[in-house]
Amino acid sequence: MNKQKVLDKLDEIHDVYKAAYDPSCYPDVNNLVDSLTDVDNIAEDIQKEANSKIKMPKVFDEWYKANEIEDLVFDAQISELESSIGVWRLGYSSSLGDWVCDDYQQRFFMCIDAIINGYEVEK
C-alpha cells in the first residue's frame, strides 16, 4: 500500500466535500448527487490501494520460494532475510543481497512488507 496515494485520495474527498457543502450550490440536488458519486469513486480507489500488494522482483520471489519463507514464523522469516543479505555483505554472491543492497533502506523494508502483506512479482 502506498500511504501517500491514500492520503492524496483522502484530500480529494475533503475537496469534494467542501465543494458540495458550498451554500451557493443549493438547492441543486444534482450537484450533491454528483459529489456523493465522486466520494464513492474515491473511496473505491482507496480500497484498491489499501488492498494492493507490493510488486517485487523475480529475485525476491525465487528467494522466498527457495527458502520456504511462508512456512516460517515472522522472526524466522526476518532472520532468513538478514542471513541472505549478510552472505552478500561477506563477499559471497547473493542475488537478493545484490538487489537489496542497491538501495538498502528502501528495499529491506519492501522485503518485510512483502513478507507480511504478500506480494506480486514484477513482470
Q: Which residue do the cell numbers 542475488 mark?
A: 95
Q: Which whole number is the average pLDDT over 55-61?
A: 91
Residues 85 and 88: their CA atoms lie apart, in Å, by 5
pLDDT reported for residue 92: 46
pLDDT in tens, 19-53: 766 666 555 666 667 777 888 888 888 888 877 88
pLDDT of residue 57 exceeding 90, the answer is yes
E strands of 1-123, at which residues? 54-56, 119-121
Residue 91: per-residue pLDDT:
46
Phi then psi for residue 54, to 5 deg, are: -65, 145
Task: Give the per-residue pLDDT at 85.
Answer: 72
